[in-house]
């Protein structure tokens, strides 16, 4: 993988950038709280990740659920995802799919890769060079805990995700 030694990561949570109102996916190295890897993502991708994190169900398959089913039905299996690099303010990811006795690597946005990893219950890895030291009192982004996330998701539709409640 380009000479990088990937490290196992977990989804630390979702946050909201209070200035841009953009969702932020926060990754942390497994069994560590810092450094963090914040990735600003789109509203629909945040919705998909939030659905998986909260255990909620959508009435109809979301895009990542559809892709997961297609991969399985076509005889493939997602084995892992990797957040590989940052180029010109854009993060890159790879989805590893085992099929026909080989592993196929698919280029993806990190948000899509993470949503698929959560759906397929596979490990997520990242290039350790991407992590940043962010202190807990850093005012940006604002962390959302799991219970608050579940409450916000109840009754929300994907088109509501970018709206500020209240």
C-beta neighbour count of 159 within 10 angstroms:
10
pLDDT of 19: 84
pLDDT of 106: 97
Say which CATH number the domain at 106 has. Answer: 3.10.690.10
Is 105 inside a domain boundary? yes
Chain centroid to CA 118: 8
pLDDT of 163: 43
Mean pLDDT split into 10-residue runs, the chain, 166 residues: 76 87 90 86 91 87 93 97 94 96 96 96 95 55 49 49 42
pLDDT per position as a tens digit, 128-159:
999 875 544 554 444 454 455 445 444 545 55
Is 2 inside a domain boundary? no
pLDDT of 77: 97
Is 50 inside a domain boundary? yes
Indicate the number of domains in the chain. 1
Is 161 inside a domain boundary? no
pLDDT of 94: 98
Is 104 inside a domain boundary? yes
On the CB side of 144, CA atoms within 13 Å amount to 19
pLDDT of 133: 54
Range of the domain at 26: 7-153
């Amino acid at each position: 993988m380009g000479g990088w030694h990937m490290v196992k990561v977990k989804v630390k949570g979702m946050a909201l950038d209070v200035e841009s109102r953009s969702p932020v996916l926060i990754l942390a190295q497994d069994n560590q709280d810092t450094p963090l890897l914040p990735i600003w993502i789109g509203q629909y991708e945040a919705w998909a990740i939030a659905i998986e994190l909260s255990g909620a169900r959508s009435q109809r398959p979301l895009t990542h659920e559809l892709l997961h089913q297609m991969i399985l039905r076509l005889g493939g299996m997602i084995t892992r995802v990797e957040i590989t690099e940052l180029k010109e303010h854009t993060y890159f990811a790879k989805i590893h799919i085992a099929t026909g006795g080989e592993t196929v690597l698919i280029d993806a946005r990190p948000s899509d890769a993470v949503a698929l990893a959560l759906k397929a219950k596979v490990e997520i890895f990242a290039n350790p060079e991407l992590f940043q030291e962010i202190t807990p009192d850093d005012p940006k982004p604002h962390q959302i805990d799991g219970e608050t996330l579940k409450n916000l998701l109840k009754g929300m539709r994907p088109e509501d995700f970018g709206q500020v409640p209240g």
